[in-house]
Amino acid sequence: MATKTATTNGGKLNELKAPPTIAHHEDTAPRKQAPVPLTVEGIAAQRAKAGKLVAGTAAYSDSDMFKSPHAYNQPKARRWDHLLSPEAVARKPCVLKKAATLLKKPGLLSLGGGLPSSDNFPIESLSMQVPHPPVFDHASIEIPDSDIVIGKHDIRDKDGVFDLATALNYGQAVGSAQMLRWVTEHTELVSRPPYADWQCALTIGSTGALDSALRMFCDRGRKDSILTEEYSFSTALETITPMGINIVGVRVDEQGLLPKNLDEILSNWDESARGARKPTVLYTVPSGQNPTGATMGAKRRKEVYDVCSKHDIFILEDEPYYYLQMPPYDKENSAAQPGAVDTSLNQSTEDFLQSLIPTLLSIDVDGRVLRMDSFSKVVVPGSRIGWVTGSEQIIERYIRHTECSSQGPAGFSQALMYKLLDETWGHEGYLRWLINLRGEYTRRRDALLDACEKHLPKDVVSWTPPAAGMFHWISVDHTRHPHAGQKTILEIEEEIFDSCIERGVLACRGSWFRAERDVEPTGLFFRTTYAAASQADMDVAIQRFGEAVRASFGIENNGIETGSPAKRRRIV
Amino acid sequence: MATKTATTNGGKLNELKAPPTIAHHEDTAPRKQAPVPLTVEGIAAQRAKAGKLVAGTAAYSDSDMFKSPHAYNQPKARRWDHLLSPEAVARKPCVLKKAATLLKKPGLLSLGGGLPSSDNFPIESLSMQVPHPPVFDHASIEIPDSDIVIGKHDIRDKDGVFDLATALNYGQAVGSAQMLRWVTEHTELVSRPPYADWQCALTIGSTGALDSALRMFCDRGRKDSILTEEYSFSTALETITPMGINIVGVRVDEQGLLPKNLDEILSNWDESARGARKPTVLYTVPSGQNPTGATMGAKRRKEVYDVCSKHDIFILEDEPYYYLQMPPYDKENSAAQPGAVDTSLNQSTEDFLQSLIPTLLSIDVDGRVLRMDSFSKVVVPGSRIGWVTGSEQIIERYIRHTECSSQGPAGFSQALMYKLLDETWGHEGYLRWLINLRGEYTRRRDALLDACEKHLPKDVVSWTPPAAGMFHWISVDHTRHPHAGQKTILEIEEEIFDSCIERGVLACRGSWFRAERDVEPTGLFFRTTYAAASQADMDVAIQRFGEAVRASFGIENNGIETGSPAKRRRIV
């Protein structure tokens, strides 16, 4: 049997790693899509051809080991030296790693790296109960089929691909070869990046990846600026601000970033007036954006990408909600209705992949996108595993940073996620899981939207049903407020928020997500989520929210009898 | 039964957390050690009194919930505002978190935080096979007693303290209440910090903690400097350098940092000559230092601390090897001899704790130490869990940073480590595990030292037997080299290194660890480790190393008949 060896150091030495064995391709090759797109079956065939993956302790690996041959039939990415921060430029490969190739010498005994012996690991095996494909529904989630087991020496004793002796020792910052293979294959299946030298690296989640990416591209001393949606993920803003990076909000509509506004900002940038350098980076959440819930269509993505190309902007594509793309909301046929049947569960995984809006990565001919994926919203947040995909140059810099910070995801997580995603579900099973989850989120979204239709005063409250993700963005028409002249938007927002709390519901104030805190807001919004509350709680919560809005606007309830009399009494 | 509640938000909202409920104490209280030191039994009594820990999804917690009353009977730490970086100063608590107290309102329904419902977590339970105390030896490690199980809803269904629904959802950056309790208790047991407002926070390991700590105290724009051992952990140096921080090496002896040299550097600092600000931070590994293996005695630690107090230096105490403190090496009674009996296995855990050299944290009356602990060397590296201990001010800043980067350790790791350390082993069992591990490392160290005694040419090679950790630092007397006049130290080092590789052994070049790369080295060293190789391999490896040194120095083998004739032939 053929074997694919990712081991280069006999499992002895963390610090000494082999240099990349990147396949090289002609830059003069015609720029075209891979002729035969990779499929789930194609992955199986590719693995069979490559042979068993052999990757021991701290084995070196990179995505080139796992990409299909078609991935290479494209030009290489551009170089981004002119955008990198002084910190990123200064990172050097570990001096110890330079000796890596030496470890290939047969019979070499290492007294080099301080890796503990797995003899001293007190964990003999881990087991896990999970539901199995092909069918996922609530029943199967409650009653798992069987236990999955990973032992300490499965590689040695059971011809296994991964084991605890490997997973729980020090590893490579890029992640284990076992998990890197899976994310590389999945990325090619979904995005097929249109350049040859793309690479993946595991992350400890997208919040961690964003912190690293910002430090790679932005610098306080250079007075750097970053673009983002005018309402943006508050943790991202709180990550950016202390670094001394200037945040520039781009106007959005129900499809997110407005390319025209993006172009205007960049075309008219006045460095001295702004006191900051023209932006070089865009941070965006294209699908189910947090907090607005907006999802860019394919055309919008291309337009945004083109403006970024025009102004040489590097794009951080943060896509935790990408797979939570849902069918349009139809209030007559809400998926939250009792007895509603989700026919999409029978969709083929190929059709599912086809139905997804193309990623920015998939149209990135320049290699100017660093895409951030995460398992947090689609498996569990507690794996603290995600991955980034970008050009070889950018991923190499990312890995250098990771070696000196997180060192990559936890071994417990890598072992368990590998057993779940690769050995138990496989790519087909994972896609089926995503199809199931999409149905679950559609039901949740529809329950919240049903409640909004039922309880909210539409003369002053409006919204666009989200097409992806877990957030619903509610617009309140402040111009129709009785005190519109006297009170600021923020004061009205606060009044409604306080009234909500008094009535027993918490919704997030829109102003908490403003990209530019010092600019006066022009709209009044609240962010709600359908991720966690039960259908019944969502109904009561939205009713209370509606009551709070009515109370602030002095609107009488329109007579729909919901909620307890005691609660309704409060309004009038 | 009394219950200790760490839950403040009904498991609904990650982003909204309650503010700290820090107990306040009079700064005028007499500065003295807690009258009754905490013991393992004391922890059990304390827990019984506090009642069951109730901490659901993303529950707020801090160390004050878990410290003994005696910990408070001391003055508070000093403030470090004048040392913090602009980045650290600029970090603000999440705007969403300000609403945290609101969630205490009974019956409040949250549409706030985007936490996935555990209904959609595909993992029903995890099980683990581990050896149980009180006796740990190789046999018990190979044959675990029983499985430990953690289910999805153990808190709800089994009156459990922790479960997967909680551990695998988003959590607090400080770590889960369950694990924070354990590390707080353990820290008080070992270090009893001599000020009132100390706190712990979980980390993703000490490399990640160091990256954060450096960004909290050092700034490129200020031309900041950091002190460290003249030979220092190469990954630490590679973390510091790209940040634009000036590294200053302090001379060391077999007990590590020389306080006199530290004082000289600081007393005579010339900012314009150095082109950098007088150092404000010391990074040190007091026990089993990497690479020199040096361990500071109690007196040395106090002297170093006093110099730091004199010059207002903040100390980063990195102690991955702290628990690997070993009895002195005795070549006549080497622990690696066949049939050697480790009588220390019968030591009481109280005696074990007493035998440890006091931590810098334990003498830190000012709160100027941020101590970094890690499970990597004593349980498994792959947990990616460690913890920091410092003053309330510093830990608060640390947590603010973690919220915007790693978000704390993986839930898989927290769940499994909690089940192992708290529910299965307990503090007593963990200390017994450390006693066992110390014996294991003593055997490994003695095997390497036995080989050195046997194979190395003592006329040009010398060493101090390490008293802790996993590294052995070998000094080669370059002045006695036949080409001492013509070749530089680095050239001789390279010659021996290359010769080692040719003979089939890898040892790390000392120059790879030099804190100041641009200063000419004054000594010639190699770092070896006894962490991973087998006893037999260590013997052969050191023999080959000795041959390489002899070949470079032109020394005949002294006639000790070891190794194959083929190998010995190479020498002459």
Give mean pLDDT, residues B28-42. 66
Fold (topology level) of A205-324+351-384: Aspartate Aminotransferase; domain 2 (3.40.640)
Q: What is the pLDDT of residues A212-241, one digit of tens each?
A: 999 999 999 999 999 999 999 999 999 999
Q: Tell me, what's the pLDDT at A377?
A: 96
Between CA A189 and CA A541 the distance in angstroms is 40
Q: Of B466, B477, B475, give the one whose Cα is nearest residue B529.
A: B466
Confidence of residue B101 (pLDDT cuts 50, 70, 90): low
Q: Do A406 and B412 touch (CB under 8 A)?
A: no
Whether B58 and chain A come into contact, CB under 8 Å, resolves to no
Q: Are B235 and A94 in contact (CB < 8 Å)?
A: yes
H helices of A311-425, in order, are 349-355, 392-403, 411-418
Query: In this structure, which amino acid lies at residue A510?
Result: G
How confident is the model at residue B25, as a pLDDT?
38
B376 interfacial to chain A (CB closer than 8 Å): yes
Strands A146-151 and B461-463: unpaired
Q: Do B177-440 and B445-569 show the same overall fold?
A: no
∠ CA(A123), CA(A129), CA(A134), 5° rounding? 135
Comparing A2-11, A63-72, A456-465, B371-380, the range with the smallest average pLDDT is A2-11
Residues in chain A within 8 Å Cβ distance of B94:
234-235, 238
Is the pLDDT at A565 greater than 60? The verdict is: no
The distance of A204 to chain B (nearest Cα, Å) reads: 7
> Residue B433: in which H helix or E strand, if any?
helix B426-455
Instruction: With beta carbons under 8 A apart, name residues in chain B contacting A99.
Output: 506
Mutation for testing the A interface, residue in B15, B108, B111, B470 having most A CBs under 10 Å = B111
Tens digit of each residue's pLDDT (9 = 90 or more) over B153-173: 999 999 999 999 999 999 999
User: Is any Cβ of chain A less than 8 angstroms from the Cβ of B172?
Assistant: no
A528 touches chain B (CB under 8 A): yes
User: Does B109 contact A at CB distance below 8 Å?
Assistant: yes
A246-279 pLDDT per residue, tens: 999 999 999 999 999 999 999 999 999 999 999 9
Query: Top-level CATH class of B177-440?
Result: alpha beta
CATH number of B445-569: 3.90.1150.10
A263: Cβ contacts below 8 Å, ≥ 6 apart = A307, A310, A311
The angle that helices A411-418 and B411-418 make with each other, rounded to 10 degrees, is 110
Q: Is the dihedral of CA A253, A255, A261, A265 positive or negative?
A: positive
Range B442-471 burial, b when 16+ CB lie within 10 A, else e: bbbbbbbbbbbeebbbeebbebbbbbbbbb
Is the pLDDT confidence value at B557 over 80?
A: no
Question: Is the CB of B27 inside 8 Å of chain A's CB atoms?
Answer: no
Q: Is the pLDDT of residue A14 over 70?
A: no
| Chain B, nearest residue to A175 by Cα | B382
Domain map (residue ranges) of chain B = 3-77+94-167, 177-440, 445-569
Q: Distance between CA atoms of A485 and B148, rounded to whole angstroms?
A: 64
Categorize the per-residue pLDDT at B558 as very low, low, confident or very high, splitting at 50, 70 and 90: low
Res A25: pLDDT: 38
Contact present, A235 and A207 (Cβ < 8 Å): yes
pLDDT for res A213: 98
Contacts across the A-B interface (CB distance below 8 Å): 372
pLDDT in tens, B387-434: 999 999 999 999 999 999 999 999 999 999 999 999 999 999 999 999
CA angle B226, B86, B174 (to 5 degrees): 85
Encoding tokens for residue B220?
């490129």
pLDDT, residue A96, reads 66
| pLDDT recorded at residue A558 | 57
- The helix, strand and coil proportions of chain A, stated in percent and rounded to the nearest 5, come to 40, 15, 45
Given a contact cutoff of 8 angstroms between Cβ atoms, the answer to whether B366 and B448 are in contact is no
Per-residue confidence band for A172, with pLDDT thresholds at 50, 70 and 90: very high
> Is residue A420 within 8 Å of A130, Cβ to Cβ?
yes
Tell me, what amino acid is at B445? R
pLDDT of residue A93: 82
ipTM of the complex model: 0.92
Residue A219, min C-alpha distance to chain B (Å): 10
* Nearest residue in B to A433, CA atom: B122
Residue A550 CA to residue A547 CA, distance in Å, equals 5
- Contact status of B238 with chain A (Cβ, < 8 Å): yes
Surface of B (74-93) touching A: CB under 8 A? 86-88, 90-92
Determine, for residues B127 and A127 on separate chains, whether the beta-carbon distance falls below 8 Å. Answer: yes
How far is the alpha carbon of A297 from chain B, nearest alpha carbon, in Å? Answer: 23
In three-state secondary structure terms, B373 is strand
A101 in contact with chain B, both atoms CB, cutoff 8 A: no
What's the confidence (pLDDT) of residue B383?
97
Smallest CA-to-CA distance from B23 within B412, B392, B422 is with B392
- Give B138's pLDDT tier (boundaries 50, 70, 90): low
For chain B, the residue count is 572
pLDDT at A23: 34
Task: Name which of A57-61, A186-190, B275-279 the model is least confident about.
Answer: A57-61
φ and ψ of B231, to 5 deg: -115, 125
Q: Which of B241, B501, B545 sits opposite A90 (nearest CB)?
A: B241
Q: Does CATH number 3.30.565.10 belong to domain A456-569?
A: no
The reported pLDDT for the residue numbered B23 is 34
Inspect the interface and report whether the beta carbons of A532 and B409 lie closer than 8 Å.
no
Q: What is the pLDDT of residue A28?
A: 43
- pLDDT tens-digit profile of A378-387? 999 999 999 9
Distance from CA of A358 to the nearest CA of B (A): 24
Residue A553 reports pLDDT greater than 50? yes
